[in-house]
């Protein structure tokens, strides 16, 4: 495949390395140093685009890929208030979008474990669920997209929690997400259920960016030639 990398920071470099190892070609690399290359005409030369920028630019980049007629894999977080609008635009232009809050195979398995545990704990009123996430200080958004996904999975089945809140809250109906920014940290997510008797925790810790990057390339391979809205559940058959 010919891949356009929209976002060529630390993650983009690792994606490039893995994509080349898997015999793909990077035909466009867009960073803050060459934003003028981020054009529909140049994106059109790719088979697939992988978008890893930030919350301020992701939505516009995704729409640019739709306009170019190129399937797009998006790993940017912090822009989901406009996700439904992106879905509408995708369908209107017969495009293809695969968004994931986290492309790591391990994290997507962790999501499935979290859903199962949330169902088991929904009837256990004495346990209070919390989520903690730890990332490097360069991560702009908080909480992480992964933590929000974990929270939404719990809220879907919890009879007592009504919404997630960032850091402190005394409201028993709030699901607390504690966000920490510490260097160095590739990413840790902890889902805990706490009672006076004991604690139950599940933890995912990323050791480096390679798991995320590999998942993004697998997603690009999956979405190549497709039309519609997809997720990592489609890629991994979960």
* Domain 2-103+210-236 matches domain 105-205 at the CATH topology level: no
Q: Please state the rounded mean pLDDT for residues 188-212.
A: 95
CATH domain 105-205 topology? Dihydrodipicolinate Reductase; domain 2 (3.30.360)
The shares of helix, strand and coil residues in the chain, as percent rounded to the nearest 5, are 40, 25, 35
At residue 23, the pLDDT reads 97
Give yes or no for residue 134 having a pLDDT over 90: yes
> Which of these is catalytic: 24, 135, 161, 204?
135
Please give the CATH number for the structural domain made up of 2-103+210-236. 3.40.50.720
Catalytic residue flag (residue 135): yes
Q: Where are the domains of the chain?
A: 2-103+210-236, 105-205
> For residue range 161-173, what is the model confidence (pLDDT) as tens digits?
999 999 888 899 9
Q: How far is CA 37 from CA 31, 32, 33, 43, 187, in A?
A: 9, 10, 10, 9, 31
Question: Which structure tokens are listed for 140?
Answer: 């702009």
At residue 141, the pLDDT reads 78
**CA 190/CA 199 separation, integer angstroms:** 12
Omega of the bond leading into 184 within 30 degrees of 0 (cis): yes
Question: Which structure tokens are listed for 170?
Answer: 């005394």
Model pTM greater than 0.85?
no
**CA 50/CA 193 separation, integer angstroms:** 36
**CA 202/CA 119 separation, integer angstroms:** 14
Question: Which structure tokens are listed for 13?
Answer: 């470099």
At residue 101, the pLDDT reads 85
Query: How confident is the prediction for the chain on average, in pLDDT?
Result: 94
* Percent of the chain clearing pLDDT 90 (strictly above): 84
> Which of these is catalytic: 42, 91, 115, 139?
139
Strand partners of residue 48: 3
At residue 16, the pLDDT reads 97
Q: Please state the rounded mean pLDDT for residues 120-145.
A: 92
Give yes or no for residue 186 having a pLDDT over 80: no
Q: pLDDT category, 78, cuts 50, 70, 90?
A: confident
Sign of dihedral through CA atoms 200, 113, 153, 147? Answer: positive
Give yes or no for residue 140 having a pLDDT over 80: no
| SS3 state of residue 154 | helix
């Amino acid at each position: 495949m010919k891949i356009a990398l929209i976002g060529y920071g630390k993650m983009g470099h690792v994606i490039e390395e893995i994509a080349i190892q898997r015999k793909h070609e990077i035909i466009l690399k867009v960073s803050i140093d060459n934003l003028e290359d981020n054009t529909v005409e140049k994106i059109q030369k790719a088979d697939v685009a992988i978008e890893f920028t930030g919350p301020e630019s992701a939505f516009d980049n995704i729409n640019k890929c739709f306009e170019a007629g190129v399937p797009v894999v998006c790993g940017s977080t912090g822009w989901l208030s406009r996700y439904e609008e992106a879905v509408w635009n995708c369908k209107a232009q017969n495009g293809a979008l695969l968004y994931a809050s986290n492309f790591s195979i391990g994290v997507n398995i962790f999501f499935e474990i979290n859903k199962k545990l949330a169902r088991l704990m929904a009837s256990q009123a004495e346990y209070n669920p919390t989520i903690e996430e730890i990332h490097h200080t360069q991560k702009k958004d908080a909480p992480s997209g992964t933590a929000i996904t974990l929270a939404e999975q719990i809220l879907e089945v919890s009879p007592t929690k009504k919404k997630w809140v960032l850091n402190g809250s005394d409201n028993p109906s709030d699901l607390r997400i504690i966000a920490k920014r510490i260097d160095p940290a590739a990413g840790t997510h902890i889902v805990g259920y706490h009672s006076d008797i004991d604690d139950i925790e599940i933890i995912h810790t990323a050791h480096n960016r390679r798991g995320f990057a590999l998942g993004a390339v697998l997603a690009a391979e999956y979405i190549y030639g497709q039309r519609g809205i997809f997720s990592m559940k489609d890629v991994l058959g979960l």
